[in-house]
Amino acid sequence: FGEATAPRDPARPQVDQWTMPDRLAREFSAIGFYMSAHPLDEFAQTLARLRVVPYAELANDKRHDERAVTLAGSVITRKERRTRDDKRMAHIGFSDSSGMYEAVVFSEVLIQAGQHLDPGKSVILNVSTRWDGDDLKLQILSVQGLNEAAAQTGAGLRIFIDDPKPLASISERLKNQKGKGLVSLIFPVEKGEREVELELPGRYAVTPALKGAIKIVHGVR
């Protein structure tokens, strides 16, 4: 409309990118599933430390034995109802990197850990298995938030920087992140011919969320 003019590219403020957990949470909120990646992908080391079994491996186990195992999953659906004795129970739908599955949770565990079982949250599950013919039935025995579980593994973090500029942002992100992991800064000296590693005092809850938040700080390599 009106006189034709060359389009101008407006000045855009420099802002940090979304972390991967933020992006995935927004994807799930908008369309109900994940596109960029799976929320468990960033927790691969944590899941290995906790000896988490992929659901597909469990479902394809030909022994059909009943046992307790540790699974991980992102909550997709939650359907609650009342039992005959008027207690709460729920069928929870999960997904992990190998597929989708469902588990039942009864009143006691639901009361204790129901806050972890809302759609969009990622968790570690202790479940009991039972086979009904070729159908695998899972009952949740306990639940823990995946970030909490990751913080307790004692994983550490090494942060590479070239100058002091990102230090304030790094400090802000480490604030109130008490845990078991060691964190160190690595920076060049003698015109880049050597590197010095400085271990920070205290221990921190080194989770994928924290790693992602520090990774996007301008000046962090």
| Distance separating alpha carbons of residues 111 and 89, to the nearest angstrom | 10
| Distance separating alpha carbons of residues 101 and 59, to the nearest angstrom | 9
| Distance separating alpha carbons of residues 158 and 98, to the nearest angstrom | 30
pLDDT per residue, tens digit, the chain (221 aa), is 567 777 777 777 776 677 777 787 788 888 877 787 888 888 888 898 889 999 999 999 888 888 999 999 999 899 999 988 999 999 999 999 888 899 999 999 999 998 999 988 899 999 999 999 889 999 999 999 998 888 888 778 999 999 999 999 999 999 988 888 899 999 998 888 899 999 999 999 888 888 888 988 989 98
- What's at 181, amino acid-wise? G
Determine how β-strand 135-145 pairs with β-strand 157-160. unpaired
| Distance separating alpha carbons of residues 206 and 204, to the nearest angstrom | 6
| Distance separating alpha carbons of residues 147 and 59, to the nearest angstrom | 26
| CA–centroid distance for 48 within its chain | 14
Find tokens 């597909």 and name the residue: 56
